[in-house]
Structure 1
Amino acid sequence: MVFRCYYITFVVIEQILRIVATSMDSLGPRGMFYLAAAVSDFYVPWMSM
């Protein structure tokens, strides 16, 4: 099983959110998008990955 970990800076996230919000502007008050995040608060040793 292969796990991939992606690193995205907050600058990139802000740019993506700005593009999405601008694209959805034509929907007016009917437009809505959801954001979700998962944060792990446990340690996994490198050899166990």
Structure 2
Amino acid sequence: MPAHIKAALLPTSLQIPVRGGRPMLGQWQGIYLVEHRDAPHRRRVAVHFA
């Protein structure tokens, strides 16, 4: 799938509620970082707490 279509369909940011220093996720929920490339690339992930 071309990159411009992936960018339109997949979010690039995510907001997760945090309580007591822990993410408020359901029992079967998780946070995953997915790379849609054939070869590995170095990435930088930024986490912002407000």
Q: Do the structures match in fold with TM over 0.5? A: no
TM-score normalised over the length of structure 1 = 0.29
Higher strand share: 2
Structure number with greater Rg is 1
| Higher helix proportion | 1
